[in-house]
Amino acid sequence: MKASELRSLSVEELKKKENDLRRELFNLRFQLAKGELSNNKRVRSVRKDIARVLGVITEKTKAEQARKN
What does the radius of gyration of the chain's CA atoms come to, in whole angstroms?
Answer: 15
- The pTM is what? 0.91
Q: What domains sit in the chain, N to C, each tagged with a CATH number?
A: 3-68 (1.10.287.310)
Show the CA angle centred on residue 36, arms to residues 31 and 39, nearest 5°.
85
Give the tens place of pLDDT for each residue, 8-60.
Answer: 999 999 999 999 999 999 999 999 999 999 999 999 999 999 999 999 999 99
pLDDT band at 1 (very low <50, low <70, confident <90, very high): confident
Query: Taking the alpha carbons of 37, 40, 56, 10 in that order, is the dihedral positive or negative?
Result: negative
- CA dist 69 and 66 (Å) reads 5
